Amino acid sequence: MVGGRTSAAYDVLMRNTVVFAAFAAFVVAVPSAQSPDARVRALLDSPKFKQAIGFIQSDQDRFVRELIALTEIPAPPFKEQARAKAYLEMLRQVGLTDVEMDPEGNVMGIRRGSGPAGGPLLLVNAHLDTVFPEGTDVKVKRQGTKLMAPGIGDDTRGLALILALVRTLEAAKFTTPGDILFAGNVGEEGEGDLRGIKFLLKTGKYKDRIKQVLAIDGNESNGITRGGVGSRRYRVTFKGPGGHSYGAFGLVNPAFAMGGAIAKFARLEVPTKPKTTFNVGVVRGGTSVNSIPAEVSMDVDMRSEACAELNRLDQEFLAVVGQAVDEENRTRSTREGRVAADPKVIGERPCGETPLDAPIVQTVAAAIRAFGLSPTFTISSTDANIPMSLGIPAVTIGRGGPGGRAHSPDEWVDVDPAANARNVQVALATLLAVAGGG
């Protein structure tokens, strides 16, 4: 269960928005050597960055080749191994050290900084898994610079971007004070329930060293996800005695109890701001049309930008399940047994946020502004939820667009060379600015 967050969280978020707006205006008006904008400007004006721009242009074909190759290796939830193995080899090829797969299936490698070994780490990750089941046609189709295939954007383009970034860091001989851990992680989507990033930050060998996180999983280069939408998912199983639909008519029926629960759930009211949502996504159960089912179940998803709203919705949901069960047991005969409901949590994404005035957020925003883009701040559900919930500064940044139709068979990305070169440059400037390198 998520706990400990209060309804004050959203108010703080709004207050920070005002503070940040004032701060941003100050930075624009009075640039100083210390401001993130000035630091990014100096980075972009450096000879190394100019060299990097040339390299990125020359690397375009390889980027596209790797994006296609990775997309065409299926990576359904819990079945990321084949893609993980291929990505592990690619991480080795780009020159990372300590390349390995951890027990959860994440693959990773280190780029050493100039500081002493074993120091704080910046984690840069993209997720290996897609939402698409086994058997999905993942062959990439091309129309000019437009590439189409399930998963090609979310998040395979993020994986390809990491490889391009590491090659560029090497080619232009950039250095960073601390080590950077680059990872392709499992389990971001759906029932994966962020298992890959949870392992990296709570169990893995680097868990105590990771002090900042840049997750690459947004569509556009100017997007900054600095808040994590929390979600809670249940599978609720309703059980009863079952029986013949005609001969045992009158006995309690778990399907009626579940139907009652769904009808009540559907009428719950949730705020539009902070955005709070709920869904019954899967219903199942029963054995034949002429049997009172002994068991039915439903999968439920609830989300909110605010932890307090999520907790309130959760309590209301559990209450209506209880009411519907009671009503069924009162309405029909319980002589062969009662209906009971068993709600099991099948997914838990903790809420969290990185404040707008946190250095990592300001730095990423400055890098985006340096390319003439205006940063947009969003709250979403990504791998960054986990570091945010642990108090580790984290944001999710763009993999570069344009692209669209994520999670659909028509998913597409555009790899127009000029636009893509800019996307890679924005990500490179972001990475170097956050890592304090140059």
What residue ranges bind Zn ion (CB under 5 A)?
154-155, 217
Closer of 154 and 353 to Zn ion (Cβ) = 154
Closer by beta carbon to Zn ion, 59 or else 193: 193
Beta-carbon neighbour count of residue 275 at 10 Å? 14
User: What is the C-alpha separation between 95 and 92, in angstroms, rounded?
Assistant: 5
* Rounded distance between C-alpha atoms, residue 230 and residue 389, angstroms: 10
In the complex, minimum distance from the CB of residue 87 to Zn ion, in angstroms, rounded to a whole number: 15
Report, in Å, the least distance between residue 199 CB and Zn ion.
Answer: 17
Give residue 258's identity as a one-letter amino acid code.
M
Q: Least Å distance between CB 225 and Zn ion?
A: 11
Nearer to Zn ion, 217 or 328 (CB): 217
For the chain, the maximum distance between any two Cα atoms, rounded to a whole number of angstroms, is 85
Q: Which two tokens stand for residue 243?
A: 């029986």
Smallest gap from Cβ 379 to Zn ion, in A, equals: 15
- Classify 242 in phi/psi space as left (phi over 0), alpha (psi -120 to 50) or beta: left
**CB 184 within 8 Å of CB 172:** no
Question: Which residue is listed with tokens 């998913």?
Answer: 411
| Residue closer to Zn ion, measured from CB, 73 or 261 | 73
Q: How far is the CB of 70 from Zn ion (least distance, A)?
A: 14
> Quick one: 157 or 332, whose CB is closer to Zn ion?
157
Alpha carbon distance 74, 77 (integer Å):
10
Can you tell me the distance from the alpha carbon of 268 to that of 317, in angstroms, rounded to the nearest whole number?
8
Name which of 51, 62, 125, 39 is nearest 386 in CA terms. Answer: 125
Element (H, E) at 211: strand 210-218
Rounded to whole angstroms, the Cα distance separating 203 from 218 reads 26
Calpha distance 76→371 (Å, rounded) = 35
Nearer to Zn ion, 347 or 355 (CB): 347
Nearer to Zn ion, 125 or 311 (CB): 125
Choice between 256 and 412, CB closer to Zn ion = 412
Rounded to the nearest whole angstrom, what is the least distance from the CB of residue 222 to Zn ion in the complex? 17
Q: How many CB atoms lie within 10 A of CB 272?
A: 7
> Could you count the other beta carbons within 10 Å of the beta carbon of residue 57?
14
Sign of CA dihedral 178, 184, 187, 188: positive
Q: Residue 327 or residue 414: which is nearer to Zn ion going by CB?
A: 414
CB of 223 to Zn ion, least distance (A): 12
Taking the complex as a whole, the smallest distance from the CB of residue 218 to Zn ion amounts, in Å, to 8
Report, in Å, the least distance between residue 216 CB and Zn ion. Answer: 9
| Nearest distance, CB of residue 158 and Zn ion, angstroms | 7
Burial of 235 (0-12, 13-18, 19+ CB in 10 A): middle
**Minimum distance of Zn ion from residue 129's CB (angstroms):** 8
Cβ closer to Zn ion: 218 or 437? 218
119 Cβ neighbours under 8 A, 6+ residues apart? 113, 178, 179, 209
Residue nearer to Zn ion on the CB measure, 191 or 208: 191
CA distances from 372 to 204, 221, 375 (A): 39, 11, 10
Displacement of CA 171 from its chain's centroid (Å): 30
